[in-house]
């Protein structure tokens, strides 16, 4: 892929949901899913009417306000075929993929769209675009894969200047690899599958696999301080990204890929998480690693959440260095087991009889069990050594290993979760996420506080709701907690969503946790920024943005607390969702769930791809 990609090859997700057309969540082959959803949020999938695909023709898309002169200026830079004021292109580039985004776009509540979408071929064209836009006092919003769920892409409704969505989709090459140093130069518009395929062909991997991997870009990862599923081994993007090139008015900010530096306050750190407010990221130099000789993901069960968390902490403090340490609480474990496919024969016996029998013999309450996935990568001897260390810690804490069978399932399903959000929305329910990080000493407290806050919000709504969680990334001093919440809509989906989401976010900061571990700030989380980094922290950040972008041309309104944050913005009309047939409060605990199909520890492990 050495040639410059053309605009027609740039892939975008469908305008009304996640992923590409024709791909979605299906539950027909998962017999436990419908009963679980009915129990959790009172939604009867057998009788509820599912909304059909919304009609683009029914949208009221704000007209482009870009002048002919400005369009001509952009066209002279990139060519007529790479500038678009088409309604579909502008809608695709209006929002990310949060629940609030999807409710508004389905509900015909697009208050402001980009006026023009432009597809540059290289950094030189981006420089000319930036200079022209700043000269014209236009707004520039960089666009990668469109997967953001924090409101980082949304144009501010009150913006009266011309808004340019600068799509980096044509810049998706791995430029070169410094084999001796393990450094790869990658164009910022490279989506996860593109860059990993190019690296794999030469025997390398970036090791960064966020949930959004299939539809997000390396530039977007840097702009939002992304974290991946294997960050325990490879680090998050702040650890992986070593060098950057960022187009700014009049020139390019160049950060060389140095292993470490003491060159004053870190400009590199300023770019990480800047969400397009300091310029347009065009290139990232990242650490890469040789594709591991062996990679396995093993499953473990624990009798309860506190035991599982204590085990994860012990692993983080030990000599073991797994690539993944993840544990689901009892509710998420129940959900995971409910989404397993139908089982037969030996698999059915092991899942529904043998394994539950072993757990009961240990005195475990099946309502409390927690499922964990732990990954091991490297040479055969290294992976074996890491697993032996982890197994000893698991046994010491009273857990049990069940082999690689569920780990293979985890690998297969790890990028499918966002499709469930669309499915629930089609059925009249919200399903969304909030994530945070806290010290080990506060982790259980945060978990309990968030549950209490969400359940209190559900009670105020007067209908059932569900919340579940997993610990997804471990550090020496703490870990990331990732919460998924769901509830059925009433008459005002945006207000109801705000009530639940806001309660969860407030519980984070009230209990010594951060407002976001890896989803960024955008508009969604900015109201809590002062509580997270203090008033003086916000003052310093404000000074940075005002100094670096005095005209407020780069993605204005994001990150800093602002009255423009759409936390109470109503939909223009009822979104394309359906009310469920059944609505009832969810119980605090799920009914007894039996473990999903797993292989016994003695079974021959299958190597995950």
Catalytic residue numbers? 482
Which helix (H) or strand (E) is 380 found in, with range?
helix 380-396
CA-CA distance, 34 to 36, in Å (whole number)?
5
Calpha distance 317→310 (Å, rounded): 11
| Nearest Cα to Cα of residue 10 among 74, 84, 77 | 84
Structure tokens at 344: 């037969």
Segment (H or E) for 87: helix 87-92
| Nearest CA among 295, 453, 305, 315 for reference residue 369 | 305
Query: Is 144:188 a contact under the CB 8 Å cutoff?
Result: yes
Spacing of C-alpha 191 from chain mean position: 14
For residue 493, what are the contacts with CB-CB under 8 A and spacing of at least 6?
103, 107, 430, 571, 575, 577
Q: Which two tokens stand for residue 92?
A: 């695709």
Q: Which residues are CB-neighbours of 387 under 8 A, at least 6 positions away?
A: 296, 298, 376
Neighbours of 153 (CB within 10 A): 29
Distances (CA, A) of 470 to 250, 332, 402, 475, 480: 45, 7, 19, 15, 8
- Chain-centroid distance of CA 284 in Å reads 20
Q: Which residues lie below 8 Å from residue 81, measured CB to CB, with a gap of 6+?
A: 6, 7
User: Could you tell me the two tokens for 474?
Assistant: 């471990």
Give me 552's structure tokens: 């407020």
**How far are the Cα atoms of 135, 343, 397, 422, 496 from residue 357, in angstroms, in the given order?**
72, 18, 20, 37, 42
Q: Is 253 helix (H, G, I), strand (E, B) or coil?
A: strand
- 416/401 Cα distance (integer angstroms): 25
Of 290, 294, 371, nearest to 330 by C-alpha is: 371
List Cα–Cα distances, 468 to 200, 215, 432, in angstroms: 35, 25, 11
**What is the rounded CA–CA span in Å between residue 511 and residue 444?**
10
Say how many CA atoms lie within 13 Å of 275 toward its Cβ. 29
CB-based contact 113:90 (threshold 8 Å): yes
* C-beta of residue 486 within 8 angstroms of C-beta of residue 41: yes
CB within 8 A of 584, min separation 6: which ones? Answer: 42, 463, 464
Reading the block at residue 178, the tokens are 């410094």
């Amino acid at each position: 892929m050495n040639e410059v990609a053309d605009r027609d090859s740039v892939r975008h997700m469908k305008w009304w949901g996640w992923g590409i057309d024709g791909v979605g969540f299906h539950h027909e082959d998962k017999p436990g899913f419908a009963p679980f959803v009915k129990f959790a949020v009172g939604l009867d999938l057998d009788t509820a009417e599912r909304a059909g695909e919304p009609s683009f023709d029914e949208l009221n898309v704000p007209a482009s306000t870009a002048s002919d002169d400005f369009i001509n200026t952009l066209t002279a830079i990139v060519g007529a075929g790479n500038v678009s004021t088409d309604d579909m292109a502008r809608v695709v580039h209006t929002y990310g993929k949060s629940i609030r985004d999807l409710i508004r776009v389905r509900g015909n509540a697009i208050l402001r769209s980009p006026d023009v979408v432009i597809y540059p071929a290289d950094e030189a064209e981006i420089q000319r675009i930036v200079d022209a836009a700043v000269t014209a006092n236009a707004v520039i919003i960089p666009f990668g894969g469109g997967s953001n769920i924090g409101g980082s892409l949304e144009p501010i409704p009150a913006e009266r200047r011309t808004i340019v969505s600068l799509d980096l989709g044509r810049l998706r090459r791995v430029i070169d690899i410094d084999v001796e140093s393990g450094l790869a130069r990658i164009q910022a518009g490279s989506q996860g599958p593109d860059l990993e395929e190019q690296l794999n062909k030469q025997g390398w991997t970036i090791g960064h696999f966020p949930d959004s991997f299939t539809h997000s870009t390396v530039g977007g990862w840097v702009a939002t301080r992304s974290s991946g599923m294997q960050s325990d081994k490879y680090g998050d993007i702040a650890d992986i990204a070593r060098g950057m090139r960022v187009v700014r008015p009049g020139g390019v900010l160049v950060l060389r890929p140095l292993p470490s530096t003491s060159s004053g306050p870190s400009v590199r750190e300023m770019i990480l998480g800047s969400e397009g407010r300091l310029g347009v990221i065009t290139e990232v130099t990242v650490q890469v690693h040789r594709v591991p000789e062996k990679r396995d993901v093993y499953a473990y069960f624990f009798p309860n959440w506190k035991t599982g968390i204590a085990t994860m902490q012990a692993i983080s403090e030990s000599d073991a260095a797994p690539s993944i340490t993840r544990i689901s609480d009892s509710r998420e474990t129940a959900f995971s087991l409910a989404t397993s496919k139908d089982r037969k024969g030996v698999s059915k016996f092991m899942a529904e009889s043998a394994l539950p029998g072993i757990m009961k013999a240990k005195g475990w309450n099946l309502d409390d069990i927690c499922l964990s996935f732990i990954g091991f990568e490297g040479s055969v001897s290294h992976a074996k050594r890491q697993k032996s260390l982890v197994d000893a810690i698991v046994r010491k804490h009273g857990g049990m290993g069940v082999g690689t069978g569920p780990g293979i399932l985890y690998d297969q399903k790890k990028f499918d979760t966002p499709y469930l959000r669309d499915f629930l929305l089609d059925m009249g329910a919200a399903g969304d996420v909030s994530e945070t990080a806290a010290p080990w000493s506060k982790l259980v407290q945060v978990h309990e506080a968030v549950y209490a806050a969400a359940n209190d919000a559900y009670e105020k709504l007067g209908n059932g709701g569900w919340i579940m969680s997993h610990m997804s990334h471990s550090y020496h001093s703490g870990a990331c907690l990732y919460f998924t919440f769901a509830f059925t809509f009433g008459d005002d989906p945006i207000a109801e969503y705000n009530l639940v989401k806001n309660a969860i976010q407030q519980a984070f900061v009230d209990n010594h946790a951060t407002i976001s571990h890896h989803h960024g700030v955008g508009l969604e989380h900015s109201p809590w920024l002062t509580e997270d980094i203090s008033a003086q922290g916000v003052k310093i950040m404000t000074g940075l943005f005002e100094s670096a972008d005095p005209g407020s041309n780069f993605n204005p309104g994001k990150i800093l607390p602002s009255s423009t944050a759409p936390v109470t913005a109503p939909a223009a009309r009822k979104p394309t969702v359906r009310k469920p047939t059944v609505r009832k409060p969810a119980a605090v605990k799920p009914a007894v769930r039996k473990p999903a199909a797993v292989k016994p520890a003695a079974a021959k492990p299958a190597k995950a791809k």
